[in-house]
Amino acid sequence: MNPTTDEEQTHDRELDITNETCPMTFVRTRLALDRMQPGQVLRLRLRGDEPRRNVPRTATEQGHAVLSATEAADGVLVLLIRKKG
């Protein structure tokens, strides 16, 4: 399967944290990443200014790769994060 857009890119796990607030946004993200194998991709849906800044920054600081950040039509930010390893 060859993806053509970020939205269609293959991912191994999906997490919707659109109803969470910081710091729970990254706590839930980290728990999901901890349950994944190195190299797997997490598709993450989030909303709000603070999570938009903090989740990608914290994931990168922990060694994970933010592959893309795409704005959905409903105002949700969709991130693809590859687990380090």
Does the bond joining 51 to the residue before it have cis omega, within 30 degrees of 0?
A: no
Told to judge if 22 belongs to the known catalytic residues of this protein, a careful annotator would answer yes
Residue in 22, 32, 66, 76 annotated catalytic: 22
How far from 46 is each of 15, 19, 57, 84, CA to CA, in Å? 9, 8, 14, 21
As given in the structure block, the two tokens for residue 5 are: 């857009």
Provide the annotated active-site residues. Answer: 22
